[in-house]
Structure 1
Amino acid sequence: MAGDQTVALLKKKTKVYVHGCPGCEQDRMKRDYKGLPYKAFFFVFVATLCSSLPVQSLFPFLYFMIRDLNVAKRVEDIGFYAGFVGSAFMVGRMLTAVFWGVVADRYGRKLVIMFSIASAIVFNTLFGLSATYWMAFVTRFLLGATNGLLAPLKAFATEVCREEHQNLALSLFTTTRGIALVIGPAIGGFLAQPADKFPTIFSKDSIWGRFPYFLPCLCISLISLVSFIICLWLPETLHKHGNNDEEDRTTETQCISQIDPEVKENGDNPEKTYLPESENLFKNWPLMSSIMAFCVFSLVEMAFAEIFTLFAVSDKKFGGLSMSSQDVGEVLSITGFSLMVYQLFVYPFITRLSSPLVSARVAAIITIPLVTTFPFMTYLSGFVLSFVVTCASVLRNVFSVTFITCLNILQNNAVAQHQRGTANGISVTAMSFFKAIAPAVGGIVFSWAQKRQHAAFLPGDHMVFFAINVVNLIGIFMIFKPFLALPTVKYVT
Structure 2
Amino acid sequence: MHRLEKREDQATDLLMAHLSNSEDFVRKHNTSTWSLFKNWPLMSSIILFCITCFDDMAYLEIFPLWAESNKKYGGLGFSTEDVGNVLLVTGSGVLLYQTFVYPCIIKVLGLINTSCVAAILSMMLLLTYPPMANLSKPWLYCAMNIASLLKNNCVATIVTCSFILQNNSVPQDQRATANGIATTLMSFSKTFAPAGAGIMFSWAQKHQHAFFIPGDQILFFLLAMVVFVEFICTFKPFLAMTKESSSGSCH
TM-score, L = length of structure 1? 0.43
How big is the shift at 1:419? 2.6
Distance 1:392 1:287 in 2: 31
C-alpha spacing 1:311/1:489, structure 2 compared with 1 (3 Å)? closer
Contact 2:94–2:149 (CA under 8 A) maintained in structure 1: yes
**RCO greater where, 1 or 2, for CA within 8 Å and sep 6 or more?**
2
C-alpha spacing 1:307/1:489, structure 2 compared with 1 (3 Å)? closer
Residue aligning to 2:233: 478
Residue aligning to 2:124: 369
Q: 1:1-60 deviations in whole A, cap 9, x for unaligned?
A: xxxxxxxxxxxxxxxxxxxxxxxxxxxxxxxxxxxxxxxxxxxxxxxxxxxxxxxxxxxx
Distance 1:352 1:364 in 2: 18
Of 432, 439, 445, the residue aligned with 2:194 is 439
Unpaired segments of 5 or more residues in structure 1?
1-242, 254-276
Distance 1:319 1:463 in 2: 11
Distance 1:417 1:356 in 2: 19
Of 140, 147, 150, the residue aligned with 1:385 is 140
Q: 1:207-244 deviations in whole A, cap 9, x for unaligned?
A: xxxxxxxxxxxxxxxxxxxxxxxxxxxxxxxxxxxx69
3-state SS of the aligned residue for 1:280? helix
Distance 1:478 1:278 in 2: 24
Distance 1:487 1:354 in 2: 17
Q: 5 Å matches for 1:58-457?
A: 280-457=35-212
Q: 1:352-396 deviations in whole A, cap 9, x for unaligned?
A: 212122111111112112110101111123221111100100111
3-state SS of the aligned residue for 2:208? coil
Contact 1:278–1:284 (CA under 8 A) maintained in structure 2: no
3-state SS of the aligned residue for 1:486? coil
Q: Which runs of 4+ in 1 moved over 3 A?
A: none
Q: 5 Å matches for 1:14-93?
A: none
Distance 2:171 2:34 in 1: 9
Unpaired segments of 5 or more residues in structure 2?
1-20, 246-251
Superposed CA RMSD in Å reads 2.4
Distance 1:350 1:289 in 2: 23
Say which structure is richer in helix: 2
How big is the shift at 1:279? 6.5
Contact 1:295–1:430 (CA under 8 A) maintained in structure 2: yes
Contact 2:73–2:208 (CA under 8 A) maintained in structure 1: yes
Distance 2:165 2:196 in 1: 28
Amino acid aligned to 1:328 = V
Residue aligning to 1:89: none
> Percent of aligned positions with the same letter in both sequences?
49
Distance 1:488 1:342 in 2: 27
TM-score, L = length of structure 2? 0.82
Distance 2:109 2:223 in 1: 27
Bigger Rg, which one: 2
Amino acid aligned to 2:116 = R
